[in-house]
Amino acid sequence: MRLAHHPNSDLEHFLLVCKLRKQVLSPWVFSVNDGGECKAIIAGRIEENILRPRIGYLKLPGIKVRSLAIIHNGILGELDKEGGAEAFLLELLEMFRRDEVQVVVFSHLKEGHIALWNILSKMNNSMGIRRPNWVNHRALRIKSDPEFLLKRLSSKHRSWLKNREKKLKEMFQEKLRWIWHSNFHDIREICIKMEAVANKTYQRGLGAGFIDNEETRKRLSFFAQKGMLRVMLLEGDEVPISFWYGIVYKNVFHAAATGYLPDVAKYEVGTLTLMKTIEELSKEEVLKLDYGLGDASYKERFSDISWREASFQIFAPTMKGKILRNYIALAETIDLQLRKFAAKTGSLDYIKRTWRNLLRQSRD
């Protein structure tokens, strides 16, 4: 697709996901045309699922809803022109009137979509539009020198990383292998190896990160057949230790998921895996690494591009829509107050570490 700039908005992949996910009732696409030419597209999915708010890592009871989920990076082209944003708003209002959906969900909408933010801010029955909870989305420009990132570090940091890798090799009696996968004959083998690591991470306790299931295998098979899938795998004595995988789309590597065994955390395996991945991407002359959703300290340290994004929801002006909004608002208020209290008492990082350790232990 000419307007697509991200794997999520690739038409074939978009339709594949709609087909694979049982909760998807139908794909949904809104287009802005001028003189017979498509100027912009908004892509989403009409889904029937459970809306389940959180307080910290704690999931609350869910409510069944029918929603329109605007996919991440699903806004393509020049929506801000030709009244596209206003026409989109009118379509949402009409969907609410017909009771087709009870909520519209935007995932990580870029701050740069100014006209869309402005027009949607008129919606009274919404959450997260007027006071967005901005999150930094980070990326790194990749240079032609495979060691460019390593050279940016201080000599002390470089020595520390080399020492960590040396200690890691000693731990596995030199039976340590970094394996870069760019061609795949059978996706099952690499999925099994990544799963062996992912099911030991705290992300698994949250239902996040890499999960080896039918959807994942079919999506990765799709990208592998297109020559877009890349996986960096670290093995020690033929046992998977860490991985980092992503999709190369229009010369940009979109990081998807990473993980490493908790037992090797002290060896800076996460950083080492990132460094090895970037070395290989540089050799392939990939221009940029997009770290994907969510911010983290390592992303901030190893990036030179950033922009702001925020997620929000718009609820139907019906009784159910108002109940949904109030329920989520209550959960978010409690979550915010608890976070403020934890930050004030200096216990926020401790709580996060403790909870993540519990989640890791639950995977053992």
Q: What is the DSSP string of 240-307?
A: EEEEEEEEEETTEEEEEEEEE-GGGGGGTHHHHHHHHHHHHHHHTT--EEE--SS--HHHHHT-SEEE
Smallest Cα–Cα separation from 74: which of 31, 35, 117, 20? Answer: 31
Inter-residue contact 98 to 91 (CB < 8 Å): no
pLDDT value at residue 208: 76
Q: What CATH number is associated with residue 78? A: 3.40.630.30
User: Which amino acid does the sequence have at 216?
Assistant: T
Say if residue 267 is in the same domain as residue 153: yes
pLDDT value at residue 41: 92
Question: Which domain-ending residue is among 232, 256, 286?
Answer: 286
pLDDT value at residue 361: 58
pLDDT digits (tens, 9 = 90+) for 284-321: 999 999 999 988 889 999 999 999 999 999 999 999 99
Say if residue 99 is in the same domain as residue 56: yes
* The model's pTM: 0.89
Is residue 299, in this structure, part of any structural domain at all? no
Domain count, the chain: 2
Taking every pair of C-alpha atoms in the chain, what is the biggest distance, in angstroms? Answer: 67
Inter-residue contact 171 to 235 (CB < 8 Å): no
pLDDT digits (tens, 9 = 90+) for 241-257: 999 999 999 999 999 99
- Give the mean pLDDT of 188-207: 88
pLDDT digits (tens, 9 = 90+) for 52-88: 888 877 788 889 999 999 999 999 987 776 588 999 9
Say if residue 71 is in the same domain as residue 112: yes
Say if residue 161 is in the same domain as residue 282: yes
Domain of residue 173, residue span: 143-286
Averaged pLDDT score across all residues of the chain = 90
Say if residue 40 is in the same domain as residue 63: yes
